[in-house]
Amino acid sequence: MLILQQTAVGPPPLPGGVAAVLRFFFNLPQWFQIGGFFIGLAIAAWLLVFLWRRRFQIISWVKTRQRGVKIGLAATAAVVVLGAAGFGSISWNYMQHDNAFCTGCHIMKGPFQRFTGSKHDSLSCHACHQQSIFASTRQLYLWVADRPEKIQMHSKVPTRVCAGCHVQGDREKDKWKRIATTAGHRVHLESDSSALRNVQCTTCHGLEVHRFVPVDSTCGQSGCHIGTEIRLGKMAGQTGFHCIACHQFTADVPLLATRDSAAGTLRPGAHECLGCHEMRAKLADFDPARDPHRETCGMCHNPHAQTRPADALKSCASAGCHADWRNEPFHTGKPHAGVAQQCTLCHQPHGAKVDASDCAGCHAAVRDRSHGRVHPPQAFDTTRALRRVSLIQNAEPEGKGKGDANPPRAAPAPGSRLPAPIDSFPHERHKQLACLTCHVTRRANASLTFVPPRGCQICHHQAPATSTCSSCHAPGDLASPHTESITVAVADHPARARTVTFAHATHEQIRCTTCHEAAVTLEPAPPVKTCTACHEDHHTARRDCAGCHSGGGIRAAHADSVNAHVSCDACHREATVARLVPDRGLCLTCHAPQREHYAPRECTTCHFLETPEAYRAHLRKAGA
């Protein structure tokens, strides 16, 4: 709402007694004014028609006059035209650019003094207050007619006028870029809310005429925040606070931040709140590093809606901040489901960040804060966790703390069910690790669970290249040969499986990571399991082929005595056949009973009358 200060009636803006004459005519009855206007218009039209019809006679009359008369008539016409033009130009400039014309009606002693003392003092009123010539004429008529009550609010200043200097202007452009990125301006100028759709600069920067700096009641003008009151605690009813004392209206916001982020900046933080509230008792141990709200007090405390500070607890799940807490298995799993809705049991106000890996520390803190009303289980009580239901009615042992030794077991009674073995996992050795390193919480309906073997592998296989495998894998564990089934495929023949054995003792000179290279599990890759990763090129001379390739299946596949010794690449891979040498070792693959027949002479020397090197060409197709 604009506040106008009018102290006295000033002199009329028209010169001399013209205003009095015009006021006399304008004060005549309206029917007389309207009738006189149309009569005068009719007389002017008749006069123009009359002169137009007699234009030739008038021109002929002027031509017949003497030279002096002509000059006198021309001079008179020029004086009338120039006088009218000059009077119109001076009057137009006076009405549009001379602030004295405006102050003839707008008697604003205080506002005009503020105007002349501001940075706008070099501007004319119409530089900002712009309206059509018709509106100006109507207002002039109403003023001259002494009917000011008919003149309503006019010449409002829209944002585009302010932007002409403060946004597009060369001197103010850089300053405006910074102003436009402040939190308050982004919230009010970039909003898609219907309430802020038509917000103008003067909505905030015009509580009083020509007072552009917002004052304490600026936010409540125009019905914006008029109903926003302070209701919290002893602050209720306070009216002397300026809104920006708590809300950082001019705080800088990053250019890429969203409007919601800008709105979040307006929430009061520790810097604003602690400027008045010392909170020496409540925040004696306040640690900003443990505050997940980044010291933004207004995230939880709303002095305009809450009456007690404790009401902030109700906003944890209702304000949209933690509405998805049920999606966190840590909250809804068996260990914490019973207390999940008691947020402050674990998350303390002003220090809500909890180290979820410190199970023992959290449980101890809860016991201390509850003064014995809450008894969470002891962390690392693995003996109790693994104990089966027994027929022995023994008293419950005392709780075992983190790293404590297992309590002694009593001898079982005759006929009773034997208890389960004690926990074999050495917690004492791992107590420097966080609990969640081994205990996962990804299953919402399950207790904290350590899943072997992957649970062990995640830690102990992190750096296999530098780890000592024998610290966990004893030599005796690897003594037995490892068997693996591989598939041998030959063209035009069905694939057949073969069982091969792997002995770690045979490969003890090879580093473990040469074969075990898969992440976490260190499982051998498929080429390693089929031996081809190292033994791909093993079809060489002087190898004992029968050591691996033997059995009735091989002899049955080569039963054709005519083609059994030639054109091997018809079925086998050409690259493999190219490396073969038909020496005694190759022949014994099928002819194992003849192993001692004329050993160690080559078979091809007698049976094919060629050395193995010479007969090698027959193993491939003709012309190959």
Q: Are residues 551 and 586 in the same domain?
A: yes
Domain-embedded: residue 369 = no
Q: Are residues 590 and 531 in the same domain?
A: no
ω into residue 214 within 30 of 0, thus cis? no
DSSP 330: H
Q: Are residues 37 and 110 in the same domain?
A: yes
pLDDT at residue 27 tops 80: no
Report the helix count and the strand count for the chain, using DSSP H and E.
29, 2
Q: Are residues 111 and 140 in the same domain?
A: yes
How does residue 475 score in pLDDT terms, banded at 50, 70 and 90?
Answer: confident
Domain-embedded: residue 257 = no
Q: Quick one: 458 exposed, middle or buried, by C-beta within 10 A (0-12, 13-18, 19+)?
A: middle
Q: Are residues 487 and 597 in the same domain?
A: no
List, for residues 108-146, the tens digit of each pLDDT value: 778 888 888 888 888 888 888 888 888 888 887 787 677
Domain-embedded: residue 570 = yes
Last residue of a domain, one of 150, 183, 201: 150
Domain-embedded: residue 624 = yes
Measure the CA–CA gap between 240 and 232, rounded to whole angstroms: 15
List, for residues 293-347, the tens digit of each pLDDT value: 888 888 888 888 888 888 888 777 666 778 788 888 888 877 788 888 888 888 8
List, for residues 72-114, the tens digit of each pLDDT value: 888 998 999 998 898 878 878 877 888 877 877 777 778 888 8
How does residue 16 score in pLDDT terms, banded at 50, 70 and 90?
Answer: low
Instruction: Please tell me the least confidently modeled range out of 150-159, 287-296, 393-402.
Output: 393-402
Q: Spell out where 300-453 has E strands.
A: none
Domain-embedded: residue 93 = yes
Please state the rounded mean pLDDT for residues 262-269.
86
- Encode burial over 140-171: b for 16+ CB neighbours within 10 A, e otherwise: bebbbbeeeeeeeeeeebebebbeebbbeeee
**Strand-pair partners of 351:** 348
Of 216 and 176, the structure prediction assigns the larger pLDDT to 176
Q: Cβ of 77: how many Cβ atoms within 10 Å? A: 10
**Cβ atoms of residues 471 and 502 within 8 Å:** no
Last residue of a domain, one of 536, 551, 581: 536
Taken as a whole, the chain contains a residue count of: 624
Name 394's Cβ contacts closer than 8 Å, sequence gap at least 6.
Answer: 410
Name 520's Cβ contacts closer than 8 Å, sequence gap at least 6.
Answer: 454, 457, 458, 461
Q: Are residues 513 and 615 in the same domain?
A: no
Measure the CA–CA gap between 499 and 481, rounded to whole angstroms: 12
Instruction: Please tell me the least confidently modeled range out of 36-45, 377-386, 577-586.
Output: 377-386
Q: Are residues 524 and 573 in the same domain?
A: no
List, for residues 364-373, the tens digit of each pLDDT value: 888 888 777 7
The pLDDT of residue 75 is: 92
Domain-embedded: residue 411 = no
3-class secondary structure, 181: coil
Q: Are residues 561 and 616 in the same domain?
A: yes
Which DSSP helix (H) or strand (E) runs through 496? strand 496-502
Q: Are residues 130 and 92 in the same domain?
A: yes
pLDDT at residue 536 tops 70: no
Torsion angle of C-alpha atoms 178, 183, 186, 191, degrees rounded to 10: 180
Q: Are residues 58 and 126 in the same domain?
A: yes
Of 4 and 478, the structure prediction assigns the larger pLDDT to 478
pLDDT at residue 406 tops 60: no
Supply the mean pLDDT for the chain. 77
The pTM for the full model equals: 0.48
Residues 131, 135, 140, 143: is their CA dihedral positive or negative? negative
- Encode burial over 91-102: b for 16+ CB neighbours within 10 A, e otherwise: eeeebeebbebb
The pLDDT of residue 6 is: 43
Last residue of a domain, one of 521, 536, 551: 536
Nearest to 213 by CA among 183, 242, 246: 242
Q: Are residues 544 and 613 in the same domain?
A: yes
Domain with 41 in it = 18-62+82-150
Q: Cβ of 619: how many Cβ atoms within 10 Å? A: 19
How does residue 2 score in pLDDT terms, banded at 50, 70 and 90?
Answer: very low
Measure the CA–CA gap between 113 and 109, rounded to whole angstroms: 6
Q: Are residues 503 and 623 in the same domain?
A: no
Domain-embedded: residue 410 = no
Measure the CA–CA gap between 268 and 301, rounded to whole angstroms: 9
Of 584 and 476, the structure prediction assigns the larger pLDDT to 584
Domain-embedded: residue 334 = no
Measure the CA–CA gap between 407 and 397, rounded to whole angstroms: 7
- pLDDT above 70 as % of the chain: 82
State in Å, rounded, how far the first CA of the chain is from the last one: 103
Q: How many domains is the chain partitioned into structurally?
A: 3
Of 290 and 205, the structure prediction assigns the larger pLDDT to 205
List, for residues 556-613, the tens digit of each pLDDT value: 778 776 778 888 888 888 888 888 888 888 888 888 888 889 988 999 999 999 998 9
The DSSP annotation for 574-585 comes to HHHHHH----HH
